[in-house]
Amino acid sequence: LFPEWEKDMTLGDAMKASAIPVYQDLARRIGLELMSKEVKRVGYGNADIGTQVDNFWLVGPLKITPQQEAQFAYKLA
């Protein structure tokens, strides 16, 4: 899809390139149960990741408003 994704990269590089395949691999390694638990624990949006651990943030039931996202980012800072 994107030539910049077709190389080895660090997580930082992946974030800069928005390399979805890297995020998907990481999500699969984390696993559905732990990912669901942690998304709920940190209170991210509606915290519903559904049953697909490797694409819930793209096409799944996870929803977050701009206000919720700003509040979440503020908590991280």
CA distance 21 to 36: 19
Confidence of residue 4 (pLDDT cuts 50, 70, 90): confident
In 1-77, where does DSSP find H-type helix?
11-17, 20-30, 32-42, 56-59, 66-76
CA 66 to CA 49: how far, in whole Å?
Answer: 18
Give the global pTM.
Answer: 0.84
pLDDT in tens, 10-53: 999 999 999 999 999 999 999 999 999 999 999 999 999 999 99
Task: Find, among 43, 33, 53, the residue nearest to 76 by Cα.
Answer: 43
Per-residue confidence (pLDDT) for residue 77, from 0 to 100? 87
What CA–CA distances, in Å, run from 4 to 8, 11, 45?
10, 14, 30
Position 21 scores a pLDDT of 92
The predicted structure's pLDDT at residue 5: 84
